[in-house]
Amino acid sequence: MNTGDDLDGELRALLADDRLALPVRPGAAEALAARGARRARRRAAAAVGTVTALVLAAGGVAAAVLRDAGSEPAAPDVVETVTVTVAPPPGFGELRLGMGEREVLATGLLGAPTDLPGGCRRHPAQDGAAVVVAPGRGVVRVTLPRSAETVAGIRVGSPAAEVGAAYGAAAHPAPGGLAVPMPGRPAWRYTFAVEAGLVTAAHVETEDHPCG
């Protein structure tokens, strides 16, 4: 008796029986295909939504970066420094036109004064220098030391002709010598005492002072 062969034959016969076959419902294939398509569309829509969100987020970051990169920095404050050089009043050393009498005496350079017309006073200094002080106007004349010279090189002992050569038409005759008006404020001039064709004294003085 071959039990194994019989059992195998019975199983094959049973599987081949048409009664075990399940009938396929009409339209089942189409329903399965439609269900698969809907699943594919949902997956595609989800993928597109994810990509769109990522693109929008990246675009926002890029826009922020562009705004930061394109924004102009605030212009720095510009501070301009202007240096103004103010020339001292005309004179010599510490002795200057316009100084008050107390101020000029405080230099310690002057000797005992002598009176002049118009209430003026003359204070001598070393090397032939002197100042003349007018009431209410301060120093109106500074006599240069004998060793000093003007910017143009005129000094005590210079020939009078050199004054004309140095200052040109600006030099003109004045009582006791020559005068040369100079630019500036207060209005002032050089005056040169002349004897025997030589300069014997050089002064820096204001125009139209009352001290003679």
Look at residue 189 and tell me whether its pLDDT is greater than 50: yes
Tell me the pLDDT tens digit for each residue of 39-91: 656 665 555 455 444 444 445 544 444 444 455 666 666 666 655 555 678 99
**pLDDT at position 184:** 84
**Region 153-174: what's the mean pLDDT?**
96
Tell me the pLDDT tens digit for each residue of 24-40: 455 555 554 556 556 65
Degrees, nearest 5: CA angle 180-182-188: 95
Mean pLDDT of the chain: 78
Residue-range domain boundaries for the chain: 26-71, 93-206
Residue-by-residue DSSP string for 127-142: GG-EEEEETTTEEEEE
Classify residue 167 as exposed, middle or buried by CB count within 10 Å of its CB (0-12, 13-18, 19+).
buried
Tell me the pLDDT tens digit for each residue of 196-210: 999 999 999 999 899
**pLDDT at position 8:** 61
Q: What sign results for the dihedral spanned by CA atoms 159, 164, 165, 170? A: positive
Per-residue confidence at 3, pLDDT binned at 50, 70, 90? Answer: low
**Region 117-136: what's the mean pLDDT?**
96
Q: Can you tell me which residue has the tokens 């001290």?
A: 211
